[in-house]
Amino acid sequence: MCGRYASFRQAQDIADTFAIEEVAPDLALLAPSWNVAPMTTVRIVTERADAETGEVRRALRAARWGLVPSWAKDPSIGNRMINARAETIAEKPAYKKALAARRCLVIADGYYEWQAATTGRPAKQPFFIRPADGSLLAIAGLYEFWRDRASAADAPWVVTTTIITTAASGALAKIHDRRPVGLVPEEWDPWLDPAVGADEAARLLSGEGPEMIAEPVSTAVNRAGIGGPELIVPIAG
């Protein structure tokens, strides 16, 4: 799974990397974070057609991490939907419509995973896992729009998102059996393109993704309220 990650690059750096045409104004208030936790506001890249012109535009927008399907009555369901398994998203009612029409990239600098305790270690060891070349990590995600119609007919729309995960392999599998699906640059366009069908998009989830480096870090990251660049500093293994 993926339950914590880091996202600290400036919005302009993200916009340049992903050829963003529009940056949501509310992102100016979103501070960099070295300890992004579920149910908080995160940055995602989307492609949507303009309602008036039909022009497809790529945007960097804010979303709450924890997907809430449009049909949900209670937004608390998002607590259980921070991750979506690549193997089953095409069949699950909560994800299948989003896979067809609302795909996104969740932007990170790296993510954390915890290795089960081994001899001599009293607790799980956290690792910070990042692209080997120091680039941004584009994680395949889905997003949805939800609003509380029960409270008011004109209730505001809430954008929520989930991170897609798959089975880990190689060195990463020694830390945890799951990993977020990182997409390489040539996969970004077809994943985001709303004209690409669900079946074709799902095939992109089976790639190896970018080369990653995993380094042990302090257990300070275990507390969701703790944040700062010191969290990703490697410690002696």
As annotated, the active-site residues are 2, 113
**27: CB partners within 8 A, 6+ apart:** 11, 43, 60, 61, 62
Exposure letters 175-186 (e unless 16+ CB within 10 A, then b): bbebbbbbbeee
**111: CB partners within 8 A, 6+ apart:** 2, 4, 5, 6, 128, 129, 130, 137, 139, 180
Query: CA angle at residue 57 from 198 to 64, to 5 degrees?
Result: 70
